[in-house]
Structure 1
Amino acid sequence: MTTLQLDNAWTLVAAVATILLGMRIHRACPALDRANIPPAVSAGLLLSVLLALLRAGGIVDLRLAAAPRDVLLLVFFASLGFGAHLGRLATAGRGALVICLAVVLVAVGQNLAGMLLASAFGQPAALGLFAGSAAYLGGHGTATAWASAAPVEGALEVGLGSATLGLVLGGLVAGPVAAWLARRGDGGSGVADAAGLPVPHADAHDAAAPVRASPFSSDRWLLPLLGLLACVAAGPQLRALLAAQGWQAPTFLLVLLAAVVLTNGVDAARRPFDTEATDLVGTLALRIFLALAMLALDWAELAGQLPLLLSGALVQVLVTAAVGLAVVYTLFGRGREGAVACGGFIGFSMGAMPIGLAVMRRLQATFGDAPRAMLAITLAASLFTDTANALILTALLRWLGVA
Structure 2
Amino acid sequence: MIKIEMDMIQTIGLAVILLLIGMKLRKHIKFFEKYCIPAPVIGGFLFSIISLIFKETNILTITFDTTLQTFFMVMFFTSVGFNASLKTLKKGGKQVGIFLLIAGGLCFSQNIVAIVVSKIIGFPPLLGLMTGSTPMTGGHGTSASIAPIIEAIGPQYAGAKTIAISAATFGLIVGSMMGGPIADRLISKHKLLPVDWKKNEKHLEDSDIDEEVLKKQRPFLDGERFSMAFFYILVSMGIGSYLSIIITALLPALKFPIYIGPMIIAAILRNISDQSKKLNAPIKEISVLEDVTLSLFLAMALMSLKLWELINLAGPLLILLIAQIILIYFYLNFITFKAMGSNYDAAVMVSGHCGFGLGATPNGISNMKAVTEKYIFSKMAFFVVPVVGALFIDFVNTCIITSFIMFFK
Match of 1:101 in 2: 105
Give the aligned residue type for 2:109: L
Match of 1:397 in 2: none
Q: Is the 8 A contact 2:337 2:347 kept in 1?
A: no
**SS of match in other structure, 2:58:** coil
- Whether 2:164 is the aligned partner of 1:163: answer yes
Structure 1 residues 263 and 131 mapped into 2: Cα distance closer, same or farther (>3 Å)? closer
- Aligned counterparts of 2:9 and 2:323: Cα–Cα separation in 1: 36
**TM-score, normalised with respect to structure 1:** 0.74
Superposed displacement of residue 278, structure 1: 0.7
Match of 2:300 in 1: 292
Superposed displacement of residue 228, structure 1: 1.1
Match of 1:133 in 2: 129
* Identity among equivalent pairs (%): 17
- Whether 2:115 is the aligned partner of 1:111: answer yes
Q: Within 5 A, what are the aligned runs for 1:91-240?
A: 91=93, 92-116=96-120, 118=121, 125=122, 127-133=123-129, 136-137=132-133, 139-144=146-151, 148=154, 155-157=156-158, 159=160, 162-178=163-179, 202-203=211-212, 215-240=220-245
Superposed displacement of residue 300, structure 1: 1.8
Q: 258-267 or 271-280, which moves further after superposition?
A: 271-280
Match of 2:258 in 1: 251
Name stretches of at least 5 consecutive residues in structure 2 with no aligned partner: 135-145, 194-200, 204-208, 341-345, 373-381
**SS of match in other structure, 1:4:** strand
Match of 1:330 in 2: 337
Q: 12-21 or 241-250, which moves further after superposition?
A: 241-250
Name stretches of at least 5 consecutive residues in structure 1 with no aligned partner: 119-124, 149-153, 189-193, 348-355, 395-403
- Give CA deviations for 1:308-341 in whole Å, capped at 9, x if unaligned: 3443354345245436634675356335554444
- Aligned counterparts of 1:104 and 1:169: Cα–Cα separation in 2: 20
- Aligned counterparts of 1:9 and 1:363: Cα–Cα separation in 2: 39
**SS of match in other structure, 1:216:** coil
Give the aligned residue type for 1:373: G
**SS of match in other structure, 2:129:** coil
Q: Is the 8 A contact 1:135 1:142 kept in 2?
A: no
Give the aligned residue type for 1:222: S
Q: Is the 8 A contact 2:80 2:394 kept in 1?
A: yes
- Give CA deviations for 1:358-383 in whole Å, capped at 9, x if unaligned: 75688899996611333341332122
- Give CA deviations for 1:293-314 in whole Å, capped at 9, x if unaligned: 21111112333x2443443354
Q: Is the 8 A contact 2:237 2:262 kept in 1?
A: yes
**SS of match in other structure, 2:61:** strand
Structure 1 residues 19 and 177 mapped into 2: Cα distance closer, same or farther (>3 Å)? farther
Q: Give the count of matched residue pairs.
A: 358
- Aligned counterparts of 1:365 and 1:40: Cα–Cα separation in 2: 25
**TM-score, normalised with respect to structure 2:** 0.74
Q: Is the 8 A contact 1:110 1:319 kept in 2?
A: no
CA RMSD of aligned residues (A): 3.7
- Aligned counterparts of 1:36 and 1:155: Cα–Cα separation in 2: 33
